[in-house]
Structure 1
Amino acid sequence: MNANYIYVALCFIPLVLYLIKLRNFKLNVKKMVVIAMFSGLSFILSKIVFIQYPQGGSINLLSSLPILLIGLIYGPVEGMTTGLITGVLGLFGGYIIHPVQLFLDFIIPPMILGLSGMFGSDSRAKVFFGCLIVVFLKCCVHVVSGVVFFASYAEQFNMGPWLYSIVYNFSCAGVEGFLSLIVATILPLEKIKREANKGYKASA
């Protein structure tokens, strides 16, 4: 079996786990509104180019931050739902050449960001490392997509598909994600979390 098929299959694991957890998940009105707002904010930020690279890549303005915050404030399912909505919004005007590439570039990466609270949010160290891991995994999915679907671009730079995809994606999505996680780490999350959860029990 081609190793690329294995890499692609591994990328779909977060989506499968999300669908399993979604069966017993309930949203209240407040959460739905917040998720919708943060999804829209992430999409808008993704259209604001902070740095444009000559080869076509770019760093946008902290588009990962809203998804990271929802994962930290509410939890993984809410965070992944925010990522899913953001990814669907990104399909409009997105470059799509294959159904699998659609998932690897637009749906799964932002969903992974929603797992930012995997270690909790009660300390800056937990926030930092949780966000760092999901940003890294997000970039890894983009790298697999680059190797499988955009390997021909590597020839222009006399690079192998893996090296080209790693350099391209970590210099774009990786830098943006790292800047977003730094901002997420320095924000007063406990205060934000208390405000976000006010009235939760009453409305649940």
Structure 2
Amino acid sequence: MKQRTRLTVMMEIAVMVALSMAIDLIDSGFKAGPYSFSFSMVPILILAVRRGLFPGVIAGLVWALLQLILGDASSIVHPAQFLIDYPLAFMMLGIAGISRHQKLPFILLFSALAIIARYFWHFISGIIFFGSYAPKGQPAWLYSLIVNGGTMLPNMIICLLIITLLYTAAKQLFYTKKSA
């Protein structure tokens, strides 16, 4: 990768992480109990589609660390839980960059897979670290599935709808000059 291209990718990572963080801070008021609703993953997903797996993974990692630094990382009960819920889960958003197909169905498919992978790790963390919050008699895995699935599904739908709208209105957001 040329020096100029590397610099461009780093700048795109910085801009998309900042945009995700800004969206996250703005829509952080859309919470109902353990559920939160946000489209803040969209910039990271677009970056991954544009630049590939590795830049998407790095952007997810930077976003997770920025949330910790700015105090947006809530409910940290154990260092291992932090690693699962933040760096590991957020890095999964890079999966959207695995497919090099630039057609909307592939972008949506791999974005959905990335979101599912992210929430899979939240689900695992929920079983291990938050299962004690489950109602009496409810297994920890079911509680985590309900809470994390109840957050993942609307967030995934919102993100995929926004990606569809952006792709329809401004396809160039999903391409680099090289891939166009």
**Superposed CA RMSD:** 2.4
What amino acid maps onto 1:160 in structure 2?
Answer: P
Query: Do the aligned partners of residues 185 and 119 (structure 1) sit closer, same or farther apart at CA in structure 2, a change above 3 Å counting?
Result: farther
TM-score by length of 2: 0.84
SS at match of 1:122: coil
How far, CA to CA, are the matches of 1:49 and 1:149 in structure 2?
23
Residue in structure 1 matched with residue 155 of structure 2 by the alignment: 176
TM-score by length of 1: 0.75
Query: Where do 5+ consecutive residues of structure 2 fail to align?
Result: none
Contact kept? 2:89, 2:119, Cα under 8 Å: yes
How far, CA to CA, are the matches of 1:40 and 1:78 in structure 2?
15
How far, CA to CA, are the matches of 2:60 and 2:112 in structure 1?
16
Moved over 6 A (4+): 24-27
Query: Do the aligned partners of residues 181 and 121 (structure 1) sit closer, same or farther apart at CA in structure 2, a change above 3 Å counting?
Result: farther
Aligned residues, how many?
Answer: 172
More helix by share: 2
Residue in structure 2 matched with residue 191 of structure 1 by the alignment: 172
Residue in structure 2 matched with residue 11 of structure 1 by the alignment: none
Moved more, 43-52 or 105-114: 43-52
What amino acid maps onto 2:160 in structure 1?
Answer: L
Is 1:80 the equivalent of 2:80?
Answer: no
Is 1:160 the equivalent of 2:139?
Answer: yes
Is 1:136 the equivalent of 2:151?
Answer: no
- Identity, % of aligned pairs? 25
Shift of 1:173: 3.5
Residue in structure 2 matched with residue 122 of structure 1 by the alignment: 102
Shift of 1:146: 0.3
Alignment counterpart, residue 70 of structure 1, candidates 36, 40, 47: 47
Query: Do the aligned partners of residues 65 and 193 (structure 1) sit closer, same or farther apart at CA in structure 2, a change above 3 Å counting?
Result: closer
What amino acid maps onto 1:80 in structure 2?
Answer: V
Is 1:44 the equivalent of 2:22?
Answer: yes
1:44-70: per-residue Cα shift (whole Å, max 9, x none)? Answer: 2222236321x332212x111011000
Query: Where do 5+ consecutive residues of structure 1 fail to align?
Result: 1-23, 199-204
Shift of 1:79: 0.7
Contact kept? 1:86, 1:110, Cα under 8 Å: yes
How far, CA to CA, are the matches of 1:25 and 1:118 in structure 2?
21
Moved more, 85-94 or 66-75: 85-94
Alignment counterpart, residue 8 of structure 2, candidates 11, 25, 30: 30
Shift of 1:96: 1.6
